[in-house]
Structure 1
Amino acid sequence: MASAPRGDLGSVLVIGGNGFLGHHIVNQALSSWNCTSVTSIDLRCSRNVNEKAAYHECDITDAAKLTELLQTIRPDVVIHTASPIASGEGKTAHELFRKVNVGGTKAVIEACQKSGVKALVYTSSASVISDNETDLLNADEDYPVIRGVQQKEYYSETKAAAEELVIKANRQESSKLLTTSIRPAGIFGEGDVQTLAGFLRAYKNGKSNVQLGDNTNIFDFTYVGNVAHAHLLAARLLLATAASSIIPPELRARRRRSLLHHQRLARLLLGLCPRRLEGCGQRQGHRGSLADFTGLEHCPRLAERGLLWHHQQASYFHKAEGCGVYHDTVLQHQQGQAGAAV
C-alpha cells in the first residue's frame, strides 16, 4: 500500500536535476509529495531521466537564459544543487568553481527574485566549516564558516561565498523570496560516481592498507535519499512560512537589532563608546573605536586561530597583520581610517 503524500510543494524546479543528488530530489518529489509539476534544469539532460518530469538544458551562468526559463516555468520552489565536482586545483579549476558556484548561484537568486519564486533551497557543503586541519567534533550550524586564508580548499571557499549570497537574499525588501542552505557531508547512494567509486578504485589498486594517524578519525557520510528528503522538507517549511502572516520571532529580533545597530553607530560618530560591550574593557562613555562599536571578542574555542566573534554581524573575523581593527569583507581598514558597512 502506497503511503500518503507528505505535503504540497506546488511547482518544483531542481537545478542540477539530472545529477547525483538532483535526480533523487526529482524522483522523491514525484513519488512522495503533491506537486503540480517537477522540472529539471541542467547542462545536459540525457541521464537520470524521470518520464514524469520536464527537462530543460541551460548553463546557470547564462543569467538571461536562466531568467527567461524561470519566468516561463514559474516555479513555487527552486532547489539549487548544481556544482562542479569538488576536485582539481590550479587556475582553471578555481575559475570553474567561482564561475559556477558563485556566479551561477548569483544568477539563480536573481532569476528567482524576478520570477516570483517563493522558496529557494541551496545545497551547500559541510566543508565550509572545516579548515582541513582542525578536528570537528559534534559540529553543527553554529560553528563559524571558514573563509579567506583560513580556508585551504578553494572549492569550499566558493561554496561558502555562494551560501552567503543565498542567506542574504532571504526576505530582501524587493522580493518575497525565502531562502535556506543545507550542508550535507559526504554523500553516497544509488547513482554515486564519486565517493563509492573512489573507495572501490582504492581497493582494486591495492591501496586499502594505508593508515594515516592512529586510525581513530571519524568522518560523516550521508545517504543520498536522506539528503534529498531534507531538501524537500526545507522547501515545504519555507512554503508554509511564505503562506503565513506571522513574522518569525528571530526576524523581529533582527529588525530590533538593526535599529540598535544604527543608534550605536550614530553615537560612535560622536566619538563615544555606546555602552560597555562584551570584550570591551573600557567604561561607558569613553572615546570609542570601531573595535569597541562592533563588539569583537575572543572566542575561546577558536582563539588559537586568530578568530574573533562579531556580535552584531554574528560571524567571525580575522585580525589583519599591522592593523588595529579586526576585519574581513564587512570591515574595511585603510591607513588612518576605518569604516563599517551599515
Structure 2
Amino acid sequence: MGPCSEDPPLLPPKTEKIRRAVPADNGGGTPRPHEGSLFRKVFDGCPLRVTATTTWTHPSTQDPHLILGAEEGIFTLNQSEPEATLELLYHSRTSWLYSIGNVLMSVSGKTPQLYSHSLLGLYEQSRREQRPGVHISPHRLLPRKNVTSTKIPDTKGCRTCCVARNGQTGCHYLCGALDAGVVLLQWYQPLQKFMLVKHFDFPLPSPLRVFELLVTPGEEFPSVCIGVAPGPSPARPVLFRTINLNSLTSWFTHAGAEPSCPGPVQVTQLDSETVLVLLDRSVKLVTLQGAPARGLVAPDIPFDVAVEAVALVRGCVQAFWRHGVQVRQVGSAQLIEELRDQRWTFRLLSSHSTLVLETRPTDEANAYSNLYVQA
C-alpha cells in the first residue's frame, strides 16, 4: 500500500448517490473489448479512486453487494438493482477492506487505523440519511453499544492487513502491519468480532511489497510473509521471508541476503500445501518451503507480458497486465484465453472471493473508470 496523501479527499455530500447506467449493448459506442466470458460490467463511469473491494450479502434481502473502499470513503453497490448506484456508507479515506458475516473490517482515516463496522448499521444509517428532512446525523441518536464503527485499539498507523483461515481448526485470523511491528487478531464468532491474540515488535520493510498470512498444517497460528525472493536453485525456486507467530523466540526466518526483485510480486496460499507466487514475470506454484509443488507438469508458468497481479479461478491462472488479461491452465501453462487492448488500462482491484477489475482509457489517466466482476 502506498503512502496516503495528507490532503483530505474531496467528498460527495452524505446524501448523494452516484448513479451510472450500465449499457445493455455496445451500440457502436465506447469499445468494450474486455467483456465476454471472463467479466461482467457492473458500473459505467465510476468517479471514485478505488483502493480495495469486498463482497457482502444482505441477510434479509439476500441482495449481493459489492463494497468499495476508496480515497473518498466506503461505498456499496447493490448488484440486484436495475440501475447501478453507489451509496456512501462511511465518510473516510479507506485503503483496505474485508467482510466476515455482517462485519466489515477496514483500514481507514487520514492517519490509517484498523476499524470494525456493522454493515447492517452502516446500511441502515445510509438509508436514514437519504430521507428528506433529516438534519441530525443518525449515529448521534444511537445508544453507545450500537455505534456502527469502532477503532481497534493499538492499531494507529496501520499500513495494511491480511487475512487467512486455518482449514484444520476453522479459525479466521487477521494480521495488521504497523509502523514497527505486527498484530494478530482472531475472529470470535459468539462476540462477532476480531480480538487481539499476539503483538510482535519488529521493523517491517519499507516499502512493504508483500504482506500475506501462510497457514502451516499443525501450527496453531499462521506465519506472516513479509518478503519473497528468487531461490538458489530449481529445487528451491522461491525464498519466503516470514515471521512465525507461534513462537516468542527465533520466530524470524530469513535465508541470507535477499536479492533484489524487480517488478510486481504477489504471494497467495491456495491450500495447505501450495502457494502461488508472482515473481520475475512468472507464476511459480511452490510448497510452503519454496520447493516446486508436487504433481504438476509445469509448476512454473512464464508470461510474455509484464504481469501486475494474478488470481486462480477454476483451475486456471488469470494474469493481469497493463493492457489485458491472460488465462493459462495450471499444470500445463497452456494459454486458454486472452483479452488484449492497448486502448484500455486494466487493474485488478481484488483477487479474493469475487474478482473485481477496473479499466480506464489509456490516453485519459484521470478519466472515470469502468468496474467489472468475474462472470
Structure 1 or 2: larger strand share? 2
- TM-score, normalized by length of structure 2? 0.21
The structure with the largest alpha-carbon Rg is 1
- TM-score when normalising by structure 1: 0.23
